[in-house]
Chains A and B, each alone.
Chain A
Amino acid sequence: MKKQELFNNETKAIPYQRQPEQLGLYESANEHDACGVGMVINIHGEKSHNLVDSALKVLENMRHRGAEGADNKTGDGAGILLQIPHEFILLQGIPVPEKGYYGTGLLFLPKESKDQSVILSIIIEEFEKAGLNVMHLRNVPTCPEILGEQALASEPDIKQIFITGFAAVETADGQLYLVRKKIENRVRKSEIVSKDDFYIVSLSTKNIIYKGMLSSMQLRSYYPDLTNNYFTSGIALVHSRFSTNTFPTWGLAQPFRLLAHNGEINTIRGNRGWMEARESVLSTPTLGDINDIRPIIQPKMSDSASLDNVLEFLIMSGMSLPHAMAMLVPESFNEKNPISEDLKAFYEYHSILMEPWDGPAALLFSDGRYAGGMLDRNGLRPARYTITKNDMMVVASEVGVMNFEPSEIKSKGRLQPGKILLIDTKEGKIYTDEELKKQLADERPYRSWLAANRIELNELKSGRKITRKVENYDRMLRTFGFTRESITRIIAPMCTNSIEPTGSMGNDRPLAVLNDKPQLLFNYFRQQFAQVTNPPIDPIREELVMSLSEYIGAVGMNILTPDETHCKMVRLNNPILSNTQLDLLCNIRYKGFNTEKLPMVFEIAKGKVGLQQVLTDLCKRAEESVKEGVNYIVLSDRFVDETHAAIPSLLAVSAVHHYLISVGKRVQTALIVESGEVQQTMHAALLLGFGASALNPYMAFAILDKLVEDKEIQLDYSTAEKNFIKAICKGLLKIMSKMGISTIRSYRGAKIFEAVGLSEELSNTYFGGLSSHIGGIRLEEIARDAIAFHDAGFKPVKFDPILPMTGILSYRKDGEKHAWNPETISTLQLATRLGSYKKFKEFTAMVDNGEKPIFLRDFFEFKRKPISIDKVEPIESIMPHFVTSAMSYGALSQEAHETLAIAMNAIHSRSNTGEGGEDNERYKKQPDGTSLRSATKQIASGRFGVTTEYLVNADEIQIKIAQGAKPGEGGQLPGYKVDEVIAKTRHSIPGISLISPPPHHDIYSIEDLAQLIFDLKNVNPKAMISVKLVAETGVGTIAAGVAKAKADLITISGAEGGTGAAPQSSINYAGISPELGLSETQQTLVLNGLRGQVKLQVDGQLKTGRDIVTMAMLGSEEFGFGTAVLIVMGCVMMRKCHQNTCAMGITTQNPELRKRFLGRAEYVINYFKYLAQEVREYLAEMGFEKFDDIIGRTDLIIQKPNYGDEKTSLIDFDKLLARVDNGAAIHHITNQIHNVEHVKDRDIIKAAKESIETAKEISLEYTIANTDRAVGAMLSGAIAEKYGEVGLPENTINVKFKGSAGQSFGAFLMPGVSFKLEGEANDYLGKGLSGGRIAVLPPKRCDFEAEQNTIAGNTLLYGATTGEVYINGRVGERFGVRNSGAIAVIEGAGDHCCEYMTGGRVVVLGDTGRNFAAGMSGGVAYVWNKKGNFDYFCNMDMVELSLIEDASYQKELHELIRQHYLYTGSKLARTMLDNWNHYIEEFIQIVPIEYKKVLQEEQMKKLQQKIADMQRDY
């Protein structure tokens, strides 16, 4: 081991701090982790030290999956789970009884001796109470010398405890569990100062765990026990941790007591909440009354630890390991999944008891006898296994972590989505998923239980006529806050198009808490979304994992005891109830269902006090109802009248939900909301997210009825209603999938929201302590607004015949404030066009000195200590701090896009390509010396136009994780917008739709991001790598992870930012203000000493010098401008970008409109000059000469005296402005260490120097290991830099590798480079392939059937543009995602093969997984349909299947298979070629419908041309 790798410490370490729970905006609850996992098993349970040693090696070979802290030495955590080494223990002289008759485990104890002895006495006391003995305490030898500073500072005292005295072996572990829980609870509730250092690592008669705040490389040396030859085990499970956590702790290292987890539990908030709510019904005969051991989930632990807690509880309650896993992490069982009906019934039955704990998760688990692994339903984490002929099995996140002789290998495979693999080491048997699940499904008659008890609401009829009309319609509209805009722009389009309307440009209105008009309570909330640490899902293309089905009713007692009465539930297909359905639900009495309707109204005359009283009564009443056995409670605001106003439905639901949890009554009933307030998706999502099971938006239905009646929409009512519900459902799926959550059951009650502008008291009392960082409204304000809405309906000053138009989406003089209004727009345009700084100052005065605040920064001023402006650095050195935000060519017209590039290059800053690629003509200098090259190249999830050439032409490569206006969502450029030029820059075909998936398919986790950064740094070592995040609570910890993943620059994008097109609800309700996000990021990075090694950039409606100075003081060194520069170029905020009808020629591809473009680079340059000048003026006023000196100086900010109204005076900026003062850097001072100095490519480049220079052919050979990552990338970068996209002539550089290639093998490989890998490959092979060739084949001496074995990982060929890949074996999930031109032949694939493909050819000589060709819009795929069931696995939404009849296609396929044979020597290919006429008939051709049309059009064009030529010839 090179010393450098272990201790590559350059930044100065900061003094260790104990993990703060909360400081400023930082909250420890927001942390995430992800990692590498591995397991080594002897299938027969034969114990050996060799196995322990191998497992440690596996761990060490995954070191790149872990992370280190700011001292570059402290690991985030590593550990190993082993069987108890009985012989080793005896050799230590500890007289333990027979195997199985004693329990042991490590304890982490405080070093402080007094605390330690108090804890030890608690331990002894509790064991004695249970009739057990603490037989021995062993001091575990450790080697603290190797620890990093942070780890050392928190190192506990480690002791091994031995417990004896069990009556029977069978019940021993149960006893240990109960006592352990009691000890944990006692210590937690005690007053012991250092109690947080106490942690019971494990306590079992079978397993033992060694772990700590270590790096993978340190585990072995830290615990000398592990290297003792007598330390033996038949099972070893290892884990290395990468945490976004800024303060990793010893206890949070993995494995936990039963499992190790790679990934993240997206649904954790809901899961934790519901587990708590469910505790009252979880007692079982095995454990007895569980009151003593509550809470089941140990507080303040990670998501993985919580899952482990629940798993352990279920096992201890008597459930089998596979049963518990299948219940906790069920596979998807909707109609798109090929599993048996019995198994579906098993899942359905259990879904009533438990919502899914959804990943991304690769879970390895063992109870000492059984050991196994599984993936969650999405299969987003890799887990590969190898079984040897001598019955060893290795499962790990990567292959190549352990070396085997090729001839020893029996088979290679991978865990599949939702599937379990289990080994019984006692029986020496491997159980496949099919066997296990069949056993589980057959255990009880789940199908008949469900059939007899569960009611399908859809199948009920009542014959009663239910009106859709609402009395006092006009009054009620106003009472519930409907406006002309909400009806005509939101509700009407929803029911005509069954989809939420789209909007463009950002949200420039004041936050709800800054708004002086009455607000619906919904407006204070913002959606949260996944970024980096877990991927969002594409709910359209990956519908197979999504579900909106709900069960409502009361969950019975003792749910862990299987019983058919647990199925007495009503099943809903979705949570939106029509009036008729609600009526049905309230009247199903025949099966003993009871309902109670509780009014959600309060007496106006009593105001806030009345509201408070009603809420209390409502909660009490709900509790009573539960006691009376009511199955569901309907909260209804139908009771509004002259004297009673509606309680905001969200407040009522949340209050009741949380109250029922607190009294242990929540799961015994369901909450249904009948509310007129619900207008759109966000409202529905909020109600569900805060605990409602279903809702009935009756006002919306009444409006639909009216629209139909007035013929405003040309539909009948039932279609309109169906469409409206469908639109809401689609929206709900989108909102859930943003967080990576697949089922509404995991989403319900999970509060995946945050509040901006709610007082802490309100949040704690009614919203379960939802985070709200700046304080804000109280119950008083809610009551006041509720009354104001009521008055608008019942006591109008003047009753207008039509509803008010409040100017939310469009500016109106008498409506909502907009930051971009005619004055600001025109003044800025005039200033920059006329070149008048005076006019510019008019503009900034208008923006900065508004009468009312719009943004949080409007409250900030700064301390003054003026100096002469001449001392301040010149504008030339300030301007490079300004960049333009990512706006793609495709969203922008060519004219606009190039204007920005010219301007930014002129001021030596950077424009950003956006996600659409860039025409390589623009890399050349213009004759007039200007440059059209965008210095920042963006790489987004669609990877459009991302070629090696593109990447090497960058000064900065920006990885767009999320976009301010629509974080967590994908995008789509419809085919009709893809013209010749756009298609060229995006490397696609004109006329074919281009879909950007919501996640990057090579970033499902933080260590994946580290990998992508590493890949890009290899391709272009000179470029800065940046990562764009969107502000939300928790973004700080994510940024810390990103900094650890070695990003050079992090962009925090404010939610207000612009967009070309996004759903209205995302523009207005997702993400938070940049001030909050930036500040949290700054605080968190400083807190853990990472700030000095990254730069921060911020964007989101920035306009003036004051904005820049304010943001700088909050911690940013760079500033992105999107909307403002568009306005400078002539944008008048028509917000029509998504319609391609921009009248100013900016966001359109229409040639007629592009002619109308009036922008010029000079205007943009003027803007930035003026901004820089204004910044200088501020610096002079503040007394600073250098801009860098104010970065992070929140102490310079003073709060403007308030705006004089009560509401804004409730805001509290203390947390936002808190400055972390720990001596660590507060701005960028040093560069990241990227570790690309010693990669394999350096050797290859050296060896192939001549070939690169002169294109001389060369052949090379290397061995390769999984730690050799991104091999080929740097070589390709060097070639692209020299030759552009053409690269080298074919077969110039031929490299043969032997071994297991690390991730991203052959990434971005250029033409002329040919890689042949004998062995196996990990994930991301051929990522961004740009013309090279890759062949993978099993080692020569391997004798397994190549086509039966998985030899390459997940997400291969992602975003490839050209090139070839041949793999003589099966591959993992998501092969060829977003392939736009490469060709590939493989011998079997996992799920989602060819997803979003837009070009190229993929041949699969074997089975495919589910969802083949989802979102595939171009290219052709061929699949060998051996079993004749391919159509079941194909997603037919966008493609057509056919036999290959056309001779040219037959020829093409033959040629591809021939090539495959040529490069890999595939036996299967050979067989096929030998008997071609037989096999060709078994192939299916998959062609996208759009592509077919394009092909036909091309053919038609050719024919027409021929005819024309012919006619001309006559």
Chain B
Amino acid sequence: MGNPTAFLTIPRKEAGYRPVIERITDFSQVEQTLNSHDRREQASRCMDCSVPFCHWACPLGNKQPEWQDALYKGKWRLAYTLLSETCDFPEFTGRICPALCEKSCVLNHSCNDPVTVRENEAAIVETAFNEGYIVAQKIKRNGKKVAVIGSGPAGLVAANRLNHMGYNVSLFDGHTMPGGLLRYGIPNFKLDKMVIDRRMKILEAEGIKFEMNKEIDFSKLPAGYDAYCICTGAPQARDLSIPGRELKGVYFALELLSQQNELLEGKSFSKEELINAKGKKVLVIGGGDTGSDCIGTCIRQGAKEVTQIEIMPKPPIGNNPATPWPMWPQTLKTTSSHEEGCKRYWSLTSNHFIGKDGKVTGVEIEEVEWIPAEDGGRPSMKLTGKKDIIAADMVLLAMGFLKPQQPKMAGNVFFAGDAASGASLVVRAMASGREVATKIDTFLK
């Protein structure tokens, strides 16, 4: 470790977001970057703990202390090499990972001021691209073929790893472009699609065959492969089956998000198909990240007002004794989208949609109370009878996704990512993709 006392003298410095007033007018990335001097200083704050909780908390097992030390010393190439050993696509996680590492950073524990691990990661990989460290490799083929179905984060990692092991990899996806939710779920203001394209070029040059626009029927997998890896995600969003669900103006979050991304890619939609919040009062049901993405998107589309409701109670601000360090803290999270202007309510359940002329105009909500369970298990919900109506001419359902069922398949078919374990973080999907690649390799050896 280069500077053992840096964490005492250098405060955490986030690059921060572009000013709200500016950023809501476009769909470009909101997060800014630090200059390389500041970035290296931030990296120097890493204490190189002998038991690095960041590394432990990271589903990928990134070795943060090692590459942050390299970064601090200005050894960008080494930093990238170390980083890419565990993380195939740091340019994705460096942008959109909720950074479990930072939550479990010892500095978060001792002074609520963790190292900017995620930003450091992004800085390393961006420099690596800019400096031309990331170039397509020549790979010795082993003659075996693997089909990877689904090109989301899990599929991409699985394909990349297998490809590097020497397998001929074909990557199938029903969409026109690879990336899965990275491309069709995450708004561009968080992850610019150029970032995906840049990586895909490398993968293609390294020999992965992209078979896009190909919906694959699980009962009829393409022939001629030694193994199959299914990474089709958790496509089924959780629905809200309450009266009025059929009203126009009630959408699943992903319908909005993916359409917006496609629009930005240049695709056009008919007026009926188009989902646009311009001038509308928007209600987002669901307090998670997807809901937050909807908020940012609607604001950029020009919504008049955005409200977000959540059925669970408002989490504590700062520390939550129920989820102490190094656990993931269940605390109030305010995203860049929240900052851009929206109302947020908690402990509200939706009773029914209110509509007029077949179009939604509002939702009746009711306050709920959560009774903690005696055995420490899930608390139970109790309706309070306090009801109200939130006016809305567009309602977005962002209440998570259902865990997909895995059909019984042949022994050479593997599942990974959300398709295997239900919806979760990109970083977990990537970890799963890496794991399945090893499994397939072992299987085929």
Contacts and interface: CB of A to CB of B under 8 A. Distances in A.
B7 interface: yes
B51 A818 contact: yes
Q: Which of B47, B50, B52 has the most CB of A within 10 A?
A: B50
B107 A1143 contact: yes
Contact of B66 (A805, A814, A1134, A1136): A805
Contacts of A1133: 49-51
B51 A1132 contact: yes
B110 interface: yes
A336 B325 CA distance: 57
A1465 to B, nearest CB: 58
Interface in B303-337: 324-327
Given A813-B55, A1156-B110, A1134 B324 contact: no
A822 B51 contact: yes
B90 interface: no
A826 B326 contact: yes
Contact of A810 (B51, B110, B324): B51
A137 B234 CA distance: 103
A282 interface: no
Contacts of A805: 63, 66
Contacts of A1030: none
A8 B282 CA distance: 95
Q: Which of A801, A810, A823, A834 has the most CB of B within 10 A?
A: A810
Given A826-B326, A1134-B47, A812 B110 contact: no
B400 to A, nearest CB: 27
Contact of B49 (A798, A823, A1132): A1132
Contact of B109 (A505, A812, A1132): A1132
B346 interface: no
B299 interface: no
B371 to A, nearest CB: 21
B47 A825 contact: no
Nearest to B58: A813
Contacts of A505: 50
Given A810-B65, A813-B61, A1152-B8, A1141 B47 contact: yes
A1145 B110 contact: yes
B56 interface: yes
Contact of A1134 (B50, B63, B325, B326): B50
Which secondary structure dominates chain B's binding surface?
A: helix
Given A1141-B5, A1141-B47, A1153-B8, A1134 B61 contact: no
A841 to B, nearest CB: 14
B64 to A, nearest CB: 11
Nearest to A836: B376
A1128 to B, nearest CB: 14
Contact of A1141 (B4, B56, B66): B4
B55 A1132 contact: no
A790 interface: no
Interface in B66-113: 66, 78, 81-82, 85, 104, 106-107, 109-111
Nearest to B50: A1135
A830 B324 contact: yes
Given A822-B326, A1141-B8, A1143-B7, A811 B110 contact: no
B444 to A, nearest CB: 14
Given A1132-B106, A1132-B109, A1144-B110, A811 B63 contact: no
B172 interface: no
A1132 B324 CA distance: 14
Given A805-B66, A812-B55, A812-B63, A1139 B4 contact: yes
A1150 interface: yes
Interface string A977-989: 0000000000000
Contacts of B326: 822, 826
Interface in A360-404: none
Contacts of B252: none
B53 interface: yes
Given A822-B56, A1156-B110, A1156-B111, A811 B51 contact: yes
Contacts of B165: 798
Interface string A1484-1510: 000000000000000000000000000
B213 to A, nearest CB: 34
B324 A833 contact: yes
Nearest to A1144: B110
Given A826-B326, A1139-B4, A1144-B110, A811 B82 contact: no
A1416 B327 CA distance: 50
A822 B56 CA distance: 7
B51 A1134 contact: yes
A1141 B110 CA distance: 12
Nearest to B6: A1141
Nearest to A818: B51
A1156 B8 CA distance: 12
A834 B7 CA distance: 29
Nearest to A1155: B111
Contacts of B106: 1132, 1134, 1143-1144
Contacts of A810: 48-52, 65
B61 A1132 contact: no
A789 interface: no
A1145 B47 CA distance: 14
Contacts of A830: 324
Interface string A793-823: 0000010111001000111111000101111
A978 B308 CA distance: 57
A1156 B112 CA distance: 11
Contacts of B324: 830, 833-834
Interface string A1093-1120: 0000000000000000000000000000
A1143 B8 CA distance: 9
Contacts of B5: 1141
Contacts of B65: 810
A1136 B61 contact: no
A1148 B95 CA distance: 36
Q: Which of A814, A1143, A1144 has the most CB of B within 10 A?
A: A1143
B81 A802 contact: yes
Contacts of B55: 811-813
Contacts of B78: 802
Contacts of B107: 1143
Interface in A97-128: none
A811 B52 contact: yes
Nearest to B62: A813
B51 A1136 contact: no
Interface string A496-509: 00000000010000
Contacts of A800: 85
Interface in A1118-1137: 1132-1136
A836 B13 CA distance: 37
A812 B64 CA distance: 11
Contacts of A1143: 7, 47, 106-107, 109-111
A1158 B63 CA distance: 27
Q: Which of B49, B61, B106 has the most CB of A within 10 A?
A: B49
Interface of A: 505, 798, 800-802, 805, 809-814, 818, 820-823, 825-826, 830, 833-834, 1132-1136, 1139, 1141, 1143-1145, 1150, 1152-1153, 1156, 1158
7 contacts: A800-B85, A801-B81, A802-B78, A812-B63, A813-B61, A1141-B7, A1156-B111
Given A802-B78, A1135-B50, 5 more contacts: A805-B66, A812-B61, A823-B56, A826-B325, A1144-B106
Interface of B: 4-5, 7-8, 47-53, 55-57, 61, 63, 65-66, 78, 81-82, 85, 104, 106-107, 109-111, 165, 324-327
Closest 10 CB pairs of A and B: A1135-B50, A822-B56, A1133-B51, A1156-B110, A1134-B49, A813-B61, A1143-B110, A811-B51, A810-B50, A1139-B4
